[in-house]
Amino acid sequence: MTIEKCIFCQIAEGKMQAIKIYEDKNILAVLDINPVSEGHMLIMPKAHFEIIEEIPDDLLSLLFRLVKILSKILRQTMKATGINVYACEGKSAGQRVPHFYLNLIPSYDKEPVAVDWQRKQASKERLEEIGNKIMVEAKKEASKILSEETEKVKAKVQQEKVIKEKTEQSKQRKEVKKIKSLIGKRFP
């Protein structure tokens, strides 16, 4: 499939219609026309990339930040009780359009969505063999690319954790206050 004929490129260029949920200069989120569940969205870069490894880091970060925002919105507006974030790369993985996209598939208590993979048995030896093969490359590549960033991120994660704990504590305090005032009203 050439880039000119790519459906997602055509949607991004406004040559084909779609229900656009969000759009800016770089990224686009549309409703899937054959949804797995209500609210099923596709989030993609506007530029044509086939697989994740072709996408520049900054752009990838924008895509995942949009996933974060839209997940929250799906829970609030659609009352989703779960969400699958799912990407396929290549025909053998079921990629329907060779333009990278992330599926954001909400699930509901009344409409559960679970990927029905056929899981297999694996021997410990084979798992170790595969693990080692990947681990050697991952150590080389990931540590080269991520080592500097990971230090900065660690500090941020800890900061977030402290904020979250404080918010939880104040929430609990408010709850206790509320209960106490209710008890007071009932038993003056």
Q: Which residue(s) pair with 86 in the sheet?
A: 103
CB 44, min distance to Zn ion, A: 8
**Count of residues touching Zn ion (by CB under 5 A):** 5
CB-nearer residue toward Zn ion: 48 or 75: 48
The answer to the question of residue 49 lying near Zn ion (CB under 5 A) is: no
DSSP string, 114-183: ----------HHHHHHHHHHHHHHHHHHHHHHHHHHHHHHHHHHHHHHHHHHHHHHHHHHHHHHHHHHHH
The answer to the question of residue 89 lying near Zn ion (CB under 5 A) is: no
Stretch that binds Zn ion, among 48-56, 78-86, 114-122, 133-141 (CB under 5 A): 48-56
The answer to the question of residue 100 lying near Zn ion (CB under 5 A) is: no
CB 14, min distance to Zn ion, A: 14
Distance (Å, whole) CA 115 – CA 103: 12
Contact residues toward Zn ion (CB under 5 A) are 6, 8-9, 48, 99
